[in-house]
Copies of this chain bind each other. A is one copy, B any other.
Amino acid sequence: MDPEQRQDGRTVSELGEFGLIRRVTEGGSRARNTLLGPGDDAAVLSAPDNRVVATTDVLVQDVHFRLDWSSPHQVGRKAVAVNLSDIAAMGAVPTGLLVGLGCAPDASAELVDGLAAGMWEEAETVGIDLAGGDMATSPTLTISVTALGDLQGRPPVTRSGAAPGDVVACAGRLGWSAAGLAVLARGFRSPLAVVGAHRVPEPPYSAGPEAAEAGATSMIDVSDGLLADLGHIAESSGVSVDVRTDWLEVPQRLSEVASALGANPWQWVLTGGEDQALVATFPEGAVPAGWRAVGRTGEGTGVTVDGAEYEQQSGWQHWRQ
């Protein structure tokens, strides 16, 4: 898509539903998996191993994103990234996307084009496309993305397969999006390293299938925060999880931002969401390249940090910065 060409000052109602759908679904070239693309009653995608992984996420303006903090392009990338991250967390590779967009009739075509361009850009990083979509008039800007994926013959990696004694390991970044959110919430626009991480996460997509191939016993993507999402694994698997801060680290950049804001960077690392890192459990010795150990599973229930309950407000002084 050539953004210059598309910024023609028209509104969504002037484009009409079919014009809109074309703008969103024809933003790039067709991917190999898309056997029948947009323009019919439904799309047809390949499902090589006789199963399809499917997930959907709804993003609402001023709930999940703010257009004064992020550009439409960034919002589009994030809307796709959070879905692709769910596909990766099953150990699957993505095969295609469907997009439902609700927006006001007087929204600008530029907004829709920006969203579409961002969605296409993120989709193309993993070789897929926007295979179908629907547009609706809505007073609230709403982006509903469905991602489909393929398990390549492997069983899905669920949240429920962890066993006591497994190594807990992580791929991707932790705390960066939360740091960026803290910066934006104080009215700042930099440092871009953290603000950018909040605007557009960089999920380690290929680490999901690699973990599955290496024998991961459970996996989840970190959307609510490391401890909260490990809580889902602990509960589903019937194990306890202990996160070891001496195995984790606070990146230098997060420490600097935390100092500037008078914040605790460990809180970002342990409880910050939206980086869409992957966290998984592996049998001893099976942690693959690209993953770093961050803890251990055990008998029992619940999630602890260095063997103790984590207290979000007061607990930070217990760990090194």
User: Are B102 and A42 in contact, CB atoms less than 8 angstroms apart?
Assistant: no
> A47 touching B51 by the CB < 8 A rule?
yes
The yes or no answer to A89 lying at the interface (CB within 8 A) is yes
Binding site for B on A (CB under 8 A): 35-36, 39-48, 50-60, 63-64, 85-87, 89-90, 92, 96, 98-102, 131-140, 142, 144, 146-149, 151, 156, 158-160, 219-221, 236
B58 touches A144 (CB 8 A): yes
Least distance between A105 CB and chain B CB atoms (Å): 10
Residues of B contacting A85 in the complex (Cβ-Cβ under 8 angstroms)? 41
The dominant DSSP class at the A interface is strand
> Within 8 Å CB of A64, what residues of B?
136
Could you say how many copies of this chain the assembly holds? 2
> Chain B residues near A39 (CB, 8 Å)?
159, 236
* Structural contact, B45 and A48, CB atoms closer than 8 A: no
Q: Do A51 and B56 touch (CB < 8 A)?
A: no
Which of B132, B221, B236 sits near A54, CB closer than 8 Å? Answer: B132
CB of A51 within 8 A of CB of B63, answer no
Contact status A140-B137, CB under 8 Å: no
Q: Is the CB of A56 within 8 A of B98?
A: yes
- Minimal Cβ-Cβ distance residue in B for A100: B58
User: How far, in whole Å, are A47 and B148 apart by their CA atoms in the complex?
Assistant: 12
Assembled-state Cα–Cα distance A316/B51 (Å): 50
